[in-house]
Amino acid sequence: MKHLLKLADLSADEILDILNLADQLKYERNNNIEHHILKGKTLGMIFQKSSTRTRVSFETGMYQLGGQALFLSNRDLQIGRGEPVQDTARVLSRYLDGIMIRTFEQSEVEDFAKYGSIPIINALTDYAHPCQVLADLQTIREHKKTLAGLKICYIGDGNNMTNSIIAGCIKMGMAVSVGCPKNYQPDAALMQWAAENGDFTCTDDVFAAAKDADVLYTDVWASMGQEGEFEARKAVFEGVYQINDKLMSVARSDAMVLHCLPAHRGEEITAEVFEAHAGEIFDEAENRLHAQKAVMVRLMA
């Protein structure tokens, strides 16, 4: 593995290796065992969108590994004034040991990898959020003790989260069902790959999607960059594409609920379901730290 651009690029063994290392790093962190595996290394963190979890977990993770992290906002970099990615990637490769990028176009992180000469980590694009799903898989395995054979159901907008859930969970041998409106489906090519390589369904019937699920997952109806579409999306999603008690009743009785956060209570998830599963959801948020430390060790050590 040279970069983490999207989970579809990783083999099942590479994903499992990251999850195993993430568990080990979590154990060590919780037992005050320090590991300065990345001493002297610097991660650049380019943010073209807001972040709470990603920024703090990457920056803290880098410190815990003995390295340092630079927060580079779009407002401060010349890239925000039109300097091409090709040049930015080549310059930053001369100073840094790795770059984490959160941006809009998937092609931008792919271009960073193409023109730069250091590891590139996708920290969310409109297409994918691989770091989140590595933490999600770690969390599911912690709670359910296995991944293969479980059914995960995603309810809501077919977005960056959905694409990464499909890629990561199918590779781990999980069944994936998506319940989303017809005009808001995940990436078509990815859905075709999933259907050919595993147990995958996509339907606008949320109850069919959630039936017997071991894990229910949801995310916001309008992602970052889609704020102007919120009212139009709300008209389509409201009252149907929500994890609530009625939907939970068709899932397995021991089903867990995950949410990448930030959550909009009363929209994609009710406050009741959110609070009933807060233990799982905040374990998931914590695991961003451990899973990303594992990614950085594998890419940058």
Residue closer to ligand NVA, measured from CB, 96 or 152: 152
Among 16, 17, 37, 51, indicate the residue that binds ligand CP (CB under 6 A).
Answer: 51
Q: How many residues bind ligand CP (CB under 6 A)?
A: 8
Q: Is 132 in the site for ligand CP (CB under 6 A)?
A: yes
Catalytic residue among 3, 53, 129, 141: 129
Q: Which amino acid is at 51?
A: S
- Distance, in Å, from the CA atom of 45 to the CA atom of 123, rounded to the nearest integer, reads 9
Active site residue 129: yes
- Distance, in Å, from the CA atom of 253 to the CA atom of 276, rounded to the nearest integer, reads 13
Residue closer to ligand CP, measured from CB, 52 or 86: 52
Q: Is 54 in the site for ligand CP (CB under 6 A)?
A: yes
Per CB under 6 A, which region of 50-58, 80-88, 90-98, 180-188 contacts ligand CP?
A: 50-58
Q: Beta strands 200-203 and 215-218: pairing type? A: unpaired
- Distance, in Å, from the CA atom of 287 to the CA atom of 26, rounded to the nearest integer, reads 8
Please answer whether residues 15 and 172 qualify as being in contact, where contact means their C-beta atoms are separated by less than 8 angstroms.
Answer: yes
Q: Pick one of ligand NVA, ligand CP, none as the site partner of residue 138 (Cβ within 5 to 8 A by kind).
A: none
Q: The sheet that has 256-259: what strands, in order across it? A: 200-203, 175-179, 151-155, 215-218, 256-259
Active site residue 132: yes
Q: What b/e sequence results for 232-252 when a residue is b if at least 16 CB atoms lie within 10 Å of its CB, and e otherwise?
A: ebeebbeeebbbbeebbebbb
Q: Which residues bind ligand NVA (CB under 6 A)?
A: 124, 159-161, 219-220, 223-224, 260
Compose the 244-263 pattern: x for residues touching ligand CP by CB under 6 A, - for all others. Answer: ----------------xx--
Q: Looking at the annotation, which residues are catalytic?
A: 102, 129, 132, 219, 260, 288
Which residues make up the interface to ligand CP (CB under 6 A)? 51-54, 124, 132, 260-261
